[in-house]
Amino acid sequence: MVTELLRPSPNAPEQRFDQWRDLVRRSCGPLNVLPGDDFAQGTIMKGQLGGMHVSVVDADPHTVVRTERLIRSADGEYLYLCGLLEGSARVEQGERQAVGRTGELISFDSTRPYTLTMPEKFRMIALMFPHRMVGLTPNGTRTLTAKAWSGLSGVEALLFQLLNGLSRHLSELSPSTAGSLGTSVASLVSTLFAEQLRLSPSEPCAARHSLMLRVQAFARQHLSDQRLDPQLLAQRHGVSLRYLQNLFQEQRTSPARWIRDERLARCREDLRAPHSAHLTVAAIGERWGLPGPSHFTRLFRDRYGVTPSDFRKSEQLTAA
């Protein structure tokens, strides 16, 4: 994986925080960045896990603020999940606030104003990803943000340990490994959010969002099964096909399109992965529920603008 290490210049101490402000904005988009007491240093290591951005931040105290005006000037909508490796952080969003400490996870949403304060020297790994990557809409995250979850047990522990390891080995990952790992991390994040939504039955939309996450988790586990289709998803989850279609419509897609795109994404990962080099293009398509070479090639070209064979060749040339 190609990672990027960002840090202020050591040769201009009087400009160090101004440089840090620019680096934070470069990584996270439009933000107000305010210094804490005695800010002296900070580093950001950036990487990519498929469609998920990863930043490992090690810095002195400071605060970042996202306002309505800054939201309007942003060019993307993202959900954040952060693991506190050292130190603490307080997040405020809407009428909620929470303090995350070492070993805990916190979440916030870039589509609504928030304040994130690190009152002491800290080390954090932050995942930044589109809502659709974990099966949510911005409205569906309101019960998930400005909360802290302990990383000592359950899904939270699995996810925190994964993030902890990722913070140490991010620069060692190959692009193909990073893409596959991004899919696994997104699935685990979806599982965490689904569990948290299930525990919030009093929230009006929590049941719908929780169902959506469970449906997508089931589908991801069965993408290789050619029998997987919207009708099967509806039957397995005790809802009508029409209700299922309405759920996916909230994310501006359909069950059939979502299944197809997930399958194509897995095929794309395998086409660029050295461990799948012995498989033919047709075998990779069939492996992920897309049998028929011409059918698979047409779908892949429509989605990515290039045939599977040409994509594989370009990836091999890039890696050489």
Examine residue 210 and state whether it is found in any structural domain, yes or no. no
Question: Is the pTM above the cut of 0.75?
Answer: yes
Examine residue 220 and state whether it is found in any structural domain, yes or no. no
Q: Residue 203 pLDDT > 80, yes or no?
A: no
**Averaged over 190-210, what is the pLDDT?**
77
Tens-digit pLDDT profile for residues 259-295: 999 999 999 989 988 888 899 999 999 999 999 999 9
Please check whether residue 46 is in contact with residue 68, taking contact to mean a CB–CB distance below 8 angstroms: no
Examine residue 179 and state whether it is found in any structural domain, yes or no. yes
User: How many helices and strands in the chain, by DSSP H and E?
Assistant: 11, 12
Examine residue 120 and state whether it is found in any structural domain, yes or no. yes
Q: How many CA atoms lie within 13 A of 157 on its CB side?
A: 3
Tens-digit pLDDT profile for residues 212-265: 888 998 999 899 999 999 999 999 999 999 999 999 998 889 999 999 999 999
Domain end point (choices 198, 217, 244): 198
Quick one: which of 92, 157, 80 has its CA closest to 125?
Answer: 80
**What residue type is assigned to position 249 of the chain?**
Q
Quick one: which of 10, 14, 11 has its CA closest to 42?
Answer: 10
Q: Print the domain residue range for 250.
A: 225-319
Q: Residue 2 pLDDT > 70, yes or no?
A: no
Tens-digit pLDDT profile for residues 147-189: 999 999 999 999 999 999 999 999 888 877 887 788 889 889 9
Q: Residue 86 pLDDT > 60, yes or no?
A: yes
Q: How many CB atoms are located within 10 Å of the residue 8 CB?
A: 22
Return the pLDDT at 97. 94
Please check whether residue 57 is in contact with residue 75, taking contact to mean a CB–CB distance below 8 angstroms: no
Average pLDDT, the chain: 90
CATH number (domain holding residue 288): 1.10.10.60
